Amino acid sequence: GYDTYLMAFESLIPAIVRAYNGLPDGDSLKSGLKEPVKMLSQWNFHSSVNSVATTLAIYWGEKIMPRVYRTKVRQGEDNSTVNKTLAFASTADASQLLLPLLATVRELEMKFGSWKMPWGEVNRFQRISGDIENHFDDNKSSIPVGFASSVWGMLPSYSSRAFPGTVKRYGVNGNSFVCAVEFGQKVKAKSLLAGGESGNPASPHFFDQGEMYAQGQFKEVWFYKEDVMNHAREQYNPGERKR
């Protein structure tokens, strides 16, 4: 599997917890965000299909990122997203942190009927056509994915978003091909492709790597001719294939 630790939230979540704890008892946000903030405060920063905190954090993170990108870093520091995130976490006031979380809770309730949505129920992997321009449909089968975008610190990256006509999010970019190679007297390798090798929906290889991709389970690469021949399902010369 992969390392699902989302490092960006190391600084962002403590910031929102501090902001919440600093609210006066009579503040409406105190009661309205009590449970979401408690959940985030207990999160281990790992994304997974069953994690509600991941859903909260990413939807909230997407709302605050425009302000993060506008944050100025200290003189002499690299103007990187990492430093901007750290600067935002240390300088943002309570409203800049908590109001986006309230908006996140309301958005999830509006879309799904509850803000307590496991990440895998929201974050999906779907391939229903071979078109270059992807099409997605909430009513058709899809696979839950526990991964997240590299924006939050995860590699391999899996970036998703909702589309017109969908409520769920679908993967649109990231690491679509991964290969690990071991060099020695004999080369060994394992690889993984997003979805499948074929662009034909009728092919058994159109989406046969979908579940593997979602689980981070690699397949063997048959590098040598002997291995290829031993695992071949069919052998034929070009132009002579029997249909």
Least confident of 28-37, 56-65, 94-103, 197-206: 197-206
Matching residue, tokens 């405060």? 41
- When pLDDT is cut at 50, 70 and 90, the band that residue 195 belongs to is confident
Tell me the mean pLDDT in the region 111-120.
98
Q: What is the pLDDT of residue 33?
A: 97
Quote the number of domains for the chain: 2
Quick one: 3 and 49 in the same domain?
A: yes
Domain of residue 205 covers 176-243
- From 123, 150, 175, the end of a domain falls on 175
Quick one: 140 and 122 in the same domain?
A: yes
Quick one: 113 and 219 in the same domain?
A: no
Range 131-138, long-range pairs (CB < 8 A, 24+ positions): 134/170, 134/172, 136/163, 136/166, 136/168, 136/170, 137/165, 137/166, 138/165, 138/166, 138/167, 138/168
Q: What is the pLDDT of residue 243?
A: 67
- When pLDDT is cut at 50, 70 and 90, the band that residue 1 belongs to is low
Q: What is the pLDDT of residue 120?
A: 98
Quick one: 33 and 57 in the same domain?
A: yes
pTM of the model: 0.91
Q: What is the pLDDT of residue 21?
A: 96
- ω before 66 within 30° of 0 (cis)? no
- CATH number, domain containing residue 118: 1.10.1400.10
